[in-house]
Structure 1
Amino acid sequence: MAKFLSRRSYRVGRSRTGLGLFALVPIKKGTRIIRYWGPKLPAKVADEIDNKYMFEINSRWTVDGSIRRNTARYINHACKPNAESDIIGHLILIRAIKNIAPGEEITYDYGKNYFNTYIKPIGCKCGSCETRRRAERAEARAKARAAKQRAARKAEKQKTEKRKLPVAAKSSPRKAQSVKAVSVKSRAAKPRAVKKKASRPLARAA
């Protein structure tokens, strides 16, 4: 007969997914923690029952783990679990695959079929998936902030360039007027110089 930890080694408590099973004592890697048990049903009968606690032993038999006395039914799924299920004959055993600290939730992988049917449609809430989603959200926020900062710098640059353009436009007429005034003065000075040169021959004749 397979030996398991006593019931004082774990407890049912609140988890991020509802209820879960938590270690009360240090559990070493390789320890058989608990048995998943319930009525054994023929596969054809089990297929007709809509029950999330059905655990398939083989192609012929399935265990209905929905009974309240099956404390192992509170163990939640995790994509990176600290335990796994072993099937020995018609027994389903939950075994630690890592050292589990007191207070840590005990988890195992429910398998691809269960995941795709029940978990994937609503989103996995296990620790590793939550960590990944937090990292993705943080990355998205960082990208959004960077894009906002780039847009602000671009808008400020365009605003600065617009402020410079009117100054250049106003200075052009003043420069044109100055050039025109210099030209007028030059043209006005030339006739006076010609008159002085014309008066010299008259002085010599006298």
Structure 2
Amino acid sequence: MNDFKSFVIRTEDIRPEEILDLFVPTERDLQLISALKSASPVILEGSRGTGKSFLLRVCEQQQFAEFSGTLVVPVYVSFIKSSLLNTKNEQQFQHWMLARLASRVLRTLYQIGLLAKPTQSASVLAGGPIGLAGEMTELEKVAQRFEDSFKNPGQILDDYVVPDVESFKDAIQDLCEELEHVLNHPNNIRKVRQHQHGKRHVM
């Protein structure tokens, strides 16, 4: 755990379990977090270092804590490594973003105990068959290759496993329906809550 007396430059360097302890909200902060939790799309604008990422992380941790009541799974994806992309792939940013987002969705679901058994929709988000817990999926490997592309700029990377936007959306919808069926059983909610307490802080 970070020493609270130490100086942290980036929100990404703060451990998840420390976020809420460091949050000193203003009325405007609470309004923004409420908006982020709504079903409507929200764009946060502000200069570098004004707390945009921090508010997103606060929202994420609050929604984890509220999950058993809301059944909303927050997924936070940092774009900080997008500046490392340096390939000749025409859609490098979109494919990297889809790969990272899909990977983060699966990782979050695993960590809170919602994806004990791989499903067809999960395989789409993995870019292929899902291996053992902790193994990188094919899409995670693609995202990593994009992020490493600055070391050998100008190459064309093999990214055929990245789903298009419509396939991604369909997989998310199918996965939500599958999980809704699982969570309709009260015992499963209790198991997820117990799993959260044991696993959520290793994100």
TM-score range, shorter chain: under 0.3
What TM-score results when the alignment is normalised by the length of structure 1? 0.21
The structure carrying a bigger helix percent of its residues is: 2
More strand by share: 1
Q: With CA pairs under 8 Å and 6+ residues apart, which has the higher RCO, 1 or 2?
A: 2
- State which structure, 1 or 2, has the greater radius of gyration over its C-alpha atoms: 1
- With the length of structure 2 as denominator, give the TM-score of the two structures: 0.21
